[in-house]
């Protein structure tokens, strides 16, 4: 399949020491960056706290001596409000980024992401349907179950439409994804039109993306979904590297290409469905983050997938920090922040790549 837009260098699947070195370098940068962003984010807000106070509150929870004095009210704010919100932002960012990296590898197309393929659209349609039809058969878990069902249904429909002669055509799958995504967005628009004033407000803010609904219950529900998605996709790094050489070459290397496609789309539907259910539609994380890692550390999926998850988590934590502090006491939808920062940066990446000399 001919890729659209950016050209990708061929991966080196045999240079294991180099890949391991790049992974270590990436981890040494991204892990402290993510932890630092989480601490700063927990300390920022209407009740401001220093990083030392935030760390002290977290240490006190596990019985370690504090680094700085803090009040019971500050501890209550961290434990009940800000810590679950920061954790949820990290989980959502990790899910969207690693899903985007996996889909770009599967389709060998740098423009592929969960939104383009219809995964997010299917989840959005399902959540809009259960909201407007007042379906609450699973209580708090209704939305994530509906979102996962919508994502999986969209993937199954796309796969069945693109399957011919016993094989799934990747190019046809991508085009079907664009069409199914358009249908899902039309269905979401129809449910929005039929909604009451309260439902319209809920759907509108949900579609713009927000982490304001973060609670320990939502974090505990989302975490297993994202963990299964991230670990499962990372374990498929080597088959994805082989797939970058082409389906025929991957088959000659012993890769079951059809099974790999199904494994990837199911894992992506699981992670993205859960993320979209709790945070709404957040764009550009799944598109931009893998490109950043690919530019800095190369296209090897053994490096690209786990580090995309870390950078995606960092990006969402920072975006949420901006969203809830830039217009205090109000709060911007996080989808607006990621779009305002992600779109110009993505254009910069495209223009920068066009100016590079052709090898």
Assigned domain for 352 exists: no
In the three-class reduction of DSSP (H, G, I as helix; E, B as strand; rest coil), residue 205 is classed as: helix
In a domain, 291, yes or no: yes
Provide the 3-class DSSP secondary structure of residue 163: strand
pLDDT of 85 > 60? The answer is: yes
Q: Domain tally for the chain?
A: 1
Residue scoring higher pLDDT (1 or 248)? 248
143 domain residue, yes or no: yes
164 DSSP β-pair partners: 167
Q: Mind listing the pLDDT tens digit for each residue in 33-50? A: 999 999 999 998 888 888
d(CA 281, CA 7): 28
Is 83 within the bounds of a domain?
Answer: no
Q: What is the pLDDT of residue 313?
A: 95
In a domain, 11, yes or no: no
Q: Which residues are within 8 A (CB) of 317 and not within 5 positions of it... i.e. 6 or more apart? A: 34, 37, 38, 41, 86, 89, 90, 93
Mean pLDDT over each residue of the chain, to the nearest integer: 82
**C-alpha to C-alpha distances, 217 to 39, 135, 139, nearest whole angstrom:** 21, 19, 12
pLDDT value of position 8: 47
Which CATH number goes with the domain that contains 290? 1.10.3470.10
Identify the domain containing residue 152 by its residue range.
93-345
Predicted pLDDT at 353: 66
Please report whether residue 140 resides in a domain. Answer: yes
Classify residue 187: in a domain, yes or no.
yes
In a domain, 240, yes or no: yes
Q: What pTM, to 2 d.p., does this model score?
A: 0.84
What confidence category does residue 287 fall into, taking pLDDT thresholds of 50, 70 and 90?
confident
């Amino acid at each position: 399949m001919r890729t659209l837009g950016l050209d990708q260098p061929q991966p080196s699947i045999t240079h294991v020491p180099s890949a391991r070195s790049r992974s270590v370098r990436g981890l040494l940068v991204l892990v402290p960056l993510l932890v630092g962003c989480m601490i700063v984010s927990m300390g920022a807000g209407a009740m401001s706290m220093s990083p030392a106070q935030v760390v002290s509150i977290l240490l006190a929870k596990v019985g370690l001596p504090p680094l700085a004095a803090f009040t019971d009210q500050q501890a209550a704010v961290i434990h009940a409000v800000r810590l679950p919100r920061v954790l949820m932002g990290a989980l959502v960012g990790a899910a969207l980024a690693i899903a985007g990296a996996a889909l770009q590898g599967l389709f060998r197309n740098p423009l592929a992401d969960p939104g383009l393929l219809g995964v997010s659209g299917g989840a959005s349609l399902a959540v809009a349907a259960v909201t407007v039809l007042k379906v609450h058969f699973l209580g708090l878990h209704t939305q994530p179950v509906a979102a996962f069902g919508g994502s999986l249904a969209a993937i199954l429909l796309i796969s069945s439409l693109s399957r011919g002669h016993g094989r799934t055509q990747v190019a046809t799958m991508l085009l079907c994804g664009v069409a199914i995504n358009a249908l899902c967005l039309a269905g979401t628009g129809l449910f929005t039109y039929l909604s009451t004033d309260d439902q319209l407000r809920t759907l509108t803010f949900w579609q713009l993306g927000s982490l304001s609904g973060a609670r320990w219950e939502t974090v505990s529900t989302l975490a297993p979904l994202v963990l299964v998605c991230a670990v499962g996709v990372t374990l498929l790094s080597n088959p994805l590297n082989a797939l970058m050489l082409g389906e025929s070459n991957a088959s000659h290397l012993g890769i079951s290409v059809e099974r790999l496609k199904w494994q990837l789309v199911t894992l992506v539907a699981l992670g993205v469905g859960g993320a979209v259910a709790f945070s709404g539609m957040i764009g550009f994380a799944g598109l931009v983050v893998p490109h950043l890692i690919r530019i800095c550390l190369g296209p090897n999926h053994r490096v690209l997938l786990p580090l995309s998850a870390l950078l995606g988590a960092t990006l969402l934590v920072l975006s949420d920090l901006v969203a809830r502090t830039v217009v205090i006491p109000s709060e911007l939808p996080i989808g607006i922040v990621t779009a305002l920062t992600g779109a110009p940066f993505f254009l910069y990446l495209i223009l920068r790549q066009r100016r590079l000399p052709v090898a």
